[in-house]
Structure formats: C-alpha cells, structure tokens
Structure 1
Amino acid sequence: MEKKKKYLGILYIICSAFCFALMNMFVRMSGDLPSVQKSFFRNLVAFFFAFVIMKKEGILFSCQKKNVSALLLRSVFGTLGILCNFYAVDHLVLSDASMLNKMSPFFAVLFSYLILREKITVPQAVFVTGAFLGSLLVIKPTFSNMDFLPSVIGLMGGLGAGIAYTFVRKLSLGGEKGPMIVCFFSGFSCLVTLPFLILDYHAMSGIQIVTLLMAGLAAAGGQFGITAAYSYAPAREISVYDYSQIIFSAILGFFVFGQLPDLLSWIGYGVICTMAVLMFLYNQRKDGSRLVRR
C-alpha cells in the first residue's frame, strides 16, 4: 500500500512538472505582452480553480491571525517569482528559464534556515553551493552576453519561489489548508498586478487570450498536481522527480520554438540535477538514520 502511494506521488509530480512546462510554453506562445499581463491571466484562472475546490471541500476563505503575515509574504514573493519567471521565459531558451526557476528548492533550504530556523548541515550547504555554481553555467555572467540580464532575472524568480515555498511550509505547519493558500495567493497576485495591467494594457488577439487561458489551466494543473503528489508521499522521496520539467521544457522548446541550449547550459543542467539527486539521497539517508535511532 505504501509503495502504491509512493508510485502515485511520483506520477502526480511528473504530471505537475509537465503542466508547468506547458505553462511556460503557452506563456512564450502568447507573444509580446508585458509579464504583468501574462501573470494576471495565469493567476485569474488559478484563483477560480482554487475557489471551486474550496467550495467543494467546504474550506472557509479565512486564516488564523498568527498566519496573516506569512500568508502575505508568501503571496508577495510568489508574485515576484512568477513575474521574474515569465520575463525569463520570454527572453531565454525555455529549458534555461525552467532550470533557473528550479533553483527554488535550494533557495528554500537556505531560507528555511533564516526564517524557520531549520538547521543546514554541511552536505546540504555543499549541495546548495554546487547548484548555485551550476546556475552560473546557465547564466554565463559576462557583459557581452545578451542573455545575462534575463538570466539574472530568471534566477531571481527561483529566489522568489524559494522564499514563497518556505512560507508555504510555515503556513502548512501553522494549520492552513493548501487550496486556501493557493486561492489567497492567486487573488492577491491578481489585485497587485491589476493597476499595472490597466495602465499598460496591450490589446490581445483571440489566439493570445486563449493561449493565456491555457497557461492558467496548465498552471492550475501544476499547482494541484504537486499538492496531490505530496499528499501521497513525503517530499524527500519524490521531490527529485520535479526536475523532469527540464526534460519536458527542452523537448517543447526544441519542437515548438526550434530552441537548442548550448553546451555550457547542458553542463549547468547536469550539475544542478546532480546536486538535486545528491540532496534527495542525503535526505533519505538522514531520515533513515533517524528512524533507526528511534
């Protein structure tokens, strides 16, 4: 039974990774629109999805007073993360943008120490440092590199997502329900971006509207897929499969946009994925040792 749950968790997290890769593809396909406008439509769809689920499960749109600040901070950094990620998706090879966004688990480790006071061991610190060095191979930080600024913004998207995930953990530990967190975040993001959308609205064709709605549907699928995955199995057992998004993004980028990452990017992918696998194996071993001691 436990093995079946684990396999279901793996299946859901791979489906989630595919959905997020599709989201990035649709965001890119929507054309030359401001990142704020793309973010608004993406979060609008996710908001209604989460709201329907809350109604179905009888979850109230309210939170405990002690969790208000964490909920707001999760929403602020989550919104910044999405805006930076969408900018990177529009200006970089799709797999590069996805890889930089996948730095978020490593940033989550760092900020779990700073915010939640969860200890970082020496091996974890080494893995985080290794992943950051791998990201430099993707960014290629030289002033002659035209993709340098979008790459840095993409990395900042991973940073924002990592901080947001840290606050999601804090909220979960504080007893808040997943659909409520998603609904609040999506609604907050829509309200924050609405004034910028009104001031700098770009007229959209029917195809662009449909494409952005598809991006929102894919994002909702990704969010609820990852929530379902972690309900079947703990993160330490399945989180590494989330990196399948890079494979999906590379395939979609090649067949849809004719994109092919350069050699340094491939090496960077390898370094970051290796650090993710080592972190995954280390956490499993650490948890196993803890169970033996009990």
Structure 2
Amino acid sequence: MLSKIHPFISKNKGIGFMLLSSLCFAMMSAMAQRMSKFFPSVELVLFRNAVGLPFLILSLWQKPALQTGGKLGFLIFRGLLGAFTLYCLFYALEHLGLSLTNTYGQAFPLFIAIFTFIWIPTESLKSKQVLFLLMGFMGILLIFRPSADKHWQNHSVGLLYAMGTALGYMAIKEAQKYYDSRWVIFSFMAAGFTASCISLILGTWGNLPNSFWSGQWVSPQGTQYIEIIIMGLLALGVQSFTTQALRFEKTSIVGAVGNSAVLFSIIIEIILGHGLPDMIVMIGMALVIVGSYQISKK
C-alpha cells in the first residue's frame, strides 16, 4: 500500500501544495475578517506584512539572490500594485465577508484574458473563451446585483481586488525574468508595510476616519498579538505553498486548484455560524468559478 501511495503523492505535489495554500488563505481571511471588528483594514495590512518581512529578509541574508536585475522601476510598480491589492482584499473582507471576497479573487483569470487581449495584439480570444468570459461576468453580475445585501461600492472594491490580482500575476511572471522570486515578494510586502504605515499616520495624527485609505491606530490587547502572528504566518504560508505549487505543476492547474479557496471559505463561514449565501449569489459564485477555470485552461 505504501509503495502505491508514495508515487501518487510525488506525482501530485503541485496540487497538494496549492490545496495547502488555499486552506491557509481561507484561514487567514477568516482571521482577518474577525479582526476587522477591532482594527481598521489598513492596520490589518500592516500586521499581515510586518510578520512575514523578517522571515523574508533573513532568507535573503542567508542565501543572497542570483539575478540579472536592471528593472527596478518595474519591481517598484509590482510592489505598489501588490499593496493596492492588499488594501482591496482586507477592505472587502471587512465589508463583503469570506466567500464573496474569495470568489472575486478567483475571478482573476477572466481579467488576465481581457488584459492580455488588450495589451498583446497577437493574442486573440477564441469563441469558447468569449463564452466563458461572459459566463464569469454573468456570475459577477448575479453577485453584484443591486438587490444584494452589500453596498455596490463594496462590490466595486471586490472587482478591483480581482483586477489587481490579475495584474499582479502578470507582473510577477515578468518580474521573475529579472529578479529572484523572493525579491518580487519582498517588493510586494515592503510596499504594503510602508503604505499601511503612511495610512495609519494620516488616520491617527491627521484625525482622518477609518476608510479604504486611512485608519486610526488601535493597540492590540492580550491574545490579539497571538492572532496577529498566526495571521501573518498563514499569509507567509500562502506565498510559500503557492511558489512550491508552481514548481511542480502547470500554472493553469495551479489556478484551477486555487478555486478551492472559495469552498474552504464557505465551509469556514458555516462552521462560524454565518450560514450559506442566498441561492442567487451561490449560482453567481458557481458561474465565476467555472468561467475562471475554463479560461485558465485556454
């Protein structure tokens, strides 16, 4: 029996790592949503990056990167884009909840197809791709519909999160031609840390209200420090497991398995007593996932 199990595990390492990444992401998102009752979303962005940065800096110090470099401006752009996407993620978690936020996040293949079509003239959309694009966006409309119990501005942030994720994937693919993947991640985390510090300074000392861009500092108490560390470690796990998954499996398959984050999120919401989304939203979520999966297959 063991002789059969070992080859199976070795053959499906990439899928296993991506399942772990999706589970870590769902758990991190659940913790962030819970903590959003006590902290502004920009402070959660700070916590998320502050925990992981020391580990990344230590890794770069112990094993310096071997890279060609020469694209510092692009690396900075990648970092700023990643920071903006994090702002969208934590704001959406606070106002939309786990399953809806992660559904928007998994819509990124739809936007990658559109951005590729716009910016790379030689890339044309096949009739099947157009069909699945329409399916995915029909699902978004069902989730976004005016009768939903969430304000349309909050759904707009969810869409921006999906667009930012798509642009982030495209930027990572380009940046890794010139830089070690750890430096790409560092640019993302350092930009998020810096931006959230500025937002908290503006909110706290400038007396600005908690919003998408600003937040007033709230000091953690007691066991909240433990929760912050766990959330940061889970976020680090997401990046590490995703990187490993891409080493052993095709990008399209990794992206498809990543849809499991939505399933994990729904399960966690049920466990926490939040129940299932209504039927129309569930149908929309299913259309987004199927459309995104089919687009990622190309």
Q: 2:41 aligns with which of 35, 47, 65?
A: 35
Q: How far 1:127 sits from its partner (Å)? A: 2.3
Contact kept in structure 2, 1:93 and 1:261, CA below 8 Å: no
Q: In the alignment, residue 132 of structure 2 is paired with which amino acid?
A: F
Give the conservation status (yes or no) of the 8 Å contact 1:104–1:161: yes
Task: Select 2:29's aligned residue among 24, 31, 49.
Answer: 24
The aligned residue for residue 240 of structure 1 is 256
Deviation at 1:151, TM superposition (A): 1.7
3-state SS of 1:206 partner: coil
- 1:95-174 aligned at under 5 Å gives the runs 95-115=99-119, 119-122=123-126, 123-142=128-147, 145-172=149-176, 174=177
Name the counterpart of 1:250. Answer: 266
The answer as to 2:189 corresponding to 1:183 is no
Task: Flag the structure with higher helix content.
Answer: 1
Deviations along 1:40-66, one digit per CA (max 9) or x if unpaired, are: 110112222322332343227x8722x
1:47 paired residue among 47, 53, 65: 53
Partner of 1:292: none
Q: TM-score, normalised by structure 1?
A: 0.86
**Matched-pair contact (CA < 8 Å) for 2:110–2:295:** no
CA deviation after TM superposition for structure 1 residue 105, in Å? 2.5
Q: CA deviation at 1:195?
A: 1.8
Q: 1:201 to 1:276 in 2, by over 3 A?
A: same
Whole-angstrom CA distance in 2 between matches of 1:146 and 1:230: 35
Partner of 1:69: 73
Q: Please tell me the residue identity of whatever aligns with 1:107.
A: F
Cα distance change of structure 1 residues 189 and 238 upon mapping to structure 2, 3 Å threshold: closer
Q: RMSD of the alignment, in Å?
A: 2.3
Q: How many residues align?
A: 278
Residues 5 and 232 in structure 1, CA contact (< 8 A), matched pair in contact too: no
Distance in 2, matches of 1:109 and 1:63, equals 29
CA contact (8 A) 2:146 2:152 kept: yes
Shift of 1:165: 1.4
Structure 1 residue 117, shift from structure 2 partner? 5.6
Percent identity between the aligned chains? 23
1:267-286 pair list within 5 angstroms:
267-281=283-297, 283=298
- Structure 1 window deviating more from structure 2 (197-206 vs 226-235): it is 197-206
Segments ≥4 residues shifted beyond 6 Å: none
Paired with 2:108 and 2:13, the residues of 1 have a C-alpha distance of 24
Displacement of 1:237 in angstroms is 3.1
Aligned residue runs from structure 1 range 199-278, under 5 A = 199=204, 200-278=216-294
Aligned pair 1:83/2:99, yes or no?
A: no
